[in-house]
Structure 1
């Protein structure tokens, strides 16, 4: 049985097959496992349906009229809006060439008719898991992304344990991209990921959670007692590492020079960190992951107004 966090819809599986009996068989068995199912009779109908509804996975027959399974898969892969949609190809033949053609077209997996119900469900489940894990990991840092962050906070909310959410980003990060370009900017983001990872390890158990929610924005979820040693270690490590990423002359001066639109040269200080922290403790619980992120984000904005690296903590929640 599939399990979905409270409030989230079941995964939508699009079954594309002109054989009504096969399509009905697949639909019934997937619905029994908790999936939502839609049916298209050929590739053309599937493309029209995908424009209206965004399925999480497509089970596609190889041989169909109008647009067959191979052509449908190729079109899905060629469209940026559907290129990541996982596809399981169904074929009535056991020939290796059919499997190869399907995989070459971009299918993630295949099943040979007649297939076992348990195998169908297992293939659908494993393909969905692989796809979600890939989508939830930042390609730059390898760290989990937004949905994993929300789930980690939701788990702590559900168990009513004390926790802290830290929202971290790099001050004057734009000056790095403007001065050196995006490739060097990515080096700074990777450096911050490494500094945060080392800081998480240094504070020991219970292990803090580290996520990358995009750009130079990171989230750490820890116990309240871990916030100070964790942030101090991260700031010290990152500032030392960041200095080595600047050109030697810029690092020695302590600033970079950037021309504005009028040709005037302005100075931008070297990067530091702003960290906002939301606390959920017995005196006042955070009850929603979105609220926790919003509080931490507001505190990070306050930290931005302070000189140097700064940690702003929402102590009002515990002092009331």
Structure 2
């Protein structure tokens, strides 16, 4: 818990210094921002685990910054502790209603501050169910995100991303190199989403070598294509020089027969909410999984993606991955 990264957003230099010293001495990593605008930028770029947010600041006050944090898929999950000199009950209610996890009135004792920070981090850890390898939201959050967006009627596309032939790679190089490849894939998805997505673009890690990206429909092709291109440019660096030169690896199958596997690539299947009667997350995953298999089947070399823009009833297939989707609508 004490290795968590905390973003301090406060226009008072003395307060920032006090908080920085208190948190650092207790094992936290600290990032600082001088106002709400700066805080939003740093929250999106630096990936903190918690935000300490002052209420009264120039350019953008804390409550406005908090609303922006909660509206942005990249930062909506972050626990936020509001700091303020205003201690009236109405102020506390306003802060909590805006989405704060906790509210602390200045001046505050260092131990009380640390207790609030640790409690907010514990709650966030319990609720977010983040994948421990990549830090990305896991199945529980993926399901919640899809459910809420479908209920709102958002025009979205679900991209289901799978690393092809990952098991032979993992068997050949070992799990540490496999973990590096998975983290690198997460990094590709995050960089593409930051550049070509918007504030509503969401990335989740289903588990193993499977990821999902939820993106507005008008950006889906660009995001999928850029993901394929950037992964293909990066994938050769996962290999030892001799294997890179050979264009892949040889791994024995269950019968001990050597099989040839090329450089890792991605298969991306996509389902569009506007393509038909997709009203439940299970239906979207079903279609996206089907399209992922289609993308995998038509590969010659390198990554590929396929987007289903037309939903036909009864055309689904069994899920390739066990998402906790629950039952569909009755």
User: TM-score by structure 1 length?
Assistant: 0.56
Structure 2 unaligned regions, length at least 5: 1-115, 313-330
Which whole-Å CA distance do the structure 2 matches of 1:246 and 1:208 have between them?
31
Which whole-Å CA distance do the structure 2 matches of 1:218 and 1:204 have between them?
16
Q: Aligned-pair distance for 1:148?
A: 0.8
The 5 Å alignment of 1:210-221 reads: 210-221=203-214
Matched, 1:175 2:183: no
Which whole-Å CA distance do the structure 2 matches of 1:291 and 1:190 have between them?
28
* 1:29-70, Cα deviation, whole Å (9 max, x unpaired): xxxxxxxxxxxxxxxxxxxxxxxxxxxxxxxxxxxxxxxxxx
1:114 corresponds to which residue?
none
User: TM-score by structure 2 length?
Assistant: 0.55
Contact 2:247 2:263 in 1 (8 A): yes
Contact 1:165 1:277 in 2 (8 A): yes
Which whole-Å CA distance do the structure 2 matches of 1:176 and 1:147 have between them?
28
* 1:171-193, Cα deviation, whole Å (9 max, x unpaired): 01011112111111111101110
**What secondary structure does 2:297 align onto?**
coil
Contact 1:201 1:207 in 2 (8 A): no
Structure 1 unaligned regions, length at least 5: 1-121
The 5 Å alignment of 1:142-157 reads: 142-157=135-150
Which whole-Å CA distance do the structure 1 matches of 2:289 and 2:259 have between them?
28
Which whole-Å CA distance do the structure 2 matches of 1:188 and 1:138 have between them?
15
* 1:226-266, Cα deviation, whole Å (9 max, x unpaired): 11111111111112222111011111111201234554432
Structure 1 residues 223 and 285, CA gap change in structure 2 (3 angstroms): farther
2:286 corresponds to which residue?
294
Provide the aligned length of Structure 1 versus Structure 2.
Answer: 194
Contact 1:165 1:278 in 2 (8 A): yes
Matched, 1:272 2:258: no
Contact 1:200 1:207 in 2 (8 A): no
Structure 1 residues 267 and 160, CA gap change in structure 2 (3 angstroms): same
2:200 corresponds to which residue?
207
Structure 1 residues 258 and 163, CA gap change in structure 2 (3 angstroms): same
Rg larger in structure: 1
The 5 Å alignment of 1:239-318 reads: 239-281=232-274, 284-307=276-299, 308=301, 309-317=303-311
Q: Aligned-pair distance for 1:153?
A: 1.0
Structure 1 residues 261 and 210, CA gap change in structure 2 (3 angstroms): closer
Which whole-Å CA distance do the structure 2 matches of 1:166 and 1:261 have between them?
32
